[in-house]
Amino acid sequence: MKRLSKSMVVCFMAAVMIMTVGCQKEEITPIIPDSPIIPDSPIIPDGALPGLFSVSATKQVFFSQGNLQYQASTNTWRFAEHQYDYVGTQTSDGFGYYGGNVSGSDNRYISSTYGGWIDLFGWGTGSNPTLSSVDGDYGAFVDWGCNPISNGGNTNNLWRTLTKSEWDYLFNSRTDASSKCGTGNINGVGGLIILPDSWTLPSECSFASGFATINPNTHPDWTHNSYTLAQWAQMEAAGAVFLPAAGYRNGTRVNNAGFGHYWSSTPLKDVAYYMIFSSYDLKATKFYNRNYGFSVRLVRDK
């Protein structure tokens, strides 16, 4: 038998080691997600809040992150940065009520060239948002959601306005509707709090449904629920919606006297339906003149 050289033995041993390593079973460590993946969990659209709200027996919607705002000089639409932001006016309405927390903006200066932001619109003025004249100028409804919203997907026709029936279902007909609505304030800004269909109260927060007790001497009274900015961040993350009581505009006169007025898309002869609330009450299906400037909070279908 021929004797193997030292170099041949080394090469043979190396080959055996390579084959042995190659045959070893590789151990795979499974990747476990931090939280369970729910296959049918809805994707939250850009500019939307995380909660889902039933507006009919078969339909749920996401609310936008804030009230709709418009800048005429640049033809730009956007949602308010925070739910509690509103433009309002910086001049008293004669009753001692005024406000707004959007710097450099005032609804009184509504015009086709105004460089500030406005957020009180005549009914159905999606194609003519600075229309502020007499009621006869208001015709067919053009939804504000037909426009690209810069921080809401920036594409036409993603958003829409609730109908009269949908506002009514939200507050009066969905499961546990009465327990999912209440007035309050966020860092001093008064408004209406609406809870989503599925709701878990954050551990460091509280919520009381309903309204403040009527007292003419303390109108408006937004102390039924009170939240710091940090507390509201937790409520919002859990899906809560806040509609600020931003008042209304009549021509160039703005009144912020403790009420919130929010348009629906539903006409009634020569007027239109809207939702109104104070710190003491809520009416989901009121109607009024189309030329009045009310707030707009858009929704997006699930």
The whole-angstrom distance between residue 33's C-alpha and the CA centroid of its chain comes to 29
3-state SS class at 82: coil
Q: What pLDDT is stored for residue 30 in this prediction?
A: 52
With a CB cutoff of 8 Å and minimum separation 6, the contacts of 92 are 98
- Of the given ranges (32-46, 52-66, 194-208), which has the lowest mean pLDDT? 32-46
Is residue 49 scored above 50 in pLDDT? yes
Return the pLDDT at 4: 44
Region 67-81: what's the mean pLDDT?
Answer: 98
Joined tokens for residue 27: 């151990």
Question: What's the mean per-residue pLDDT of the chain?
Answer: 87
Provide the H-helix boundaries in 123-221: 164-172
pLDDT for 183 equals: 98
**Structure confidence at residue 256 (pLDDT):** 79
Summarize pLDDT for 129-182 with one digit per residue, the tens.
999 887 778 989 999 999 999 999 999 999 999 999 999 999 999 999 999 999
- Where residue 57 falls among pLDDT bands split at 50, 70, 90? very high
CA 46, CA 242: separation in Å to the nearest integer?
Answer: 18
Sequence-separated (6 or more) residues with CB below 8 Å from residue 239: 49, 50, 51, 52, 195, 196, 198, 199
Cis ω before 220 (30° cut-off from 0): yes
Residue 18: the pLDDT is 40
- The answer, yes or no, to whether residue 93 has pLDDT greater than 70, is no
pLDDT score, position 34 = 53
| pLDDT of 102 above 90 | no
Asked whether the predicted pLDDT for residue 37 surpasses 60, the reply is no
How far apart, in whole angstroms, are the C-alpha atoms of residue 56 and residue 53? Answer: 9
102 or 141: whose pLDDT is higher? 141
What confidence tier does 97 reach under pLDDT thresholds 50, 70, 90?
low
Given this model, what pLDDT does residue 23 score?
A: 39
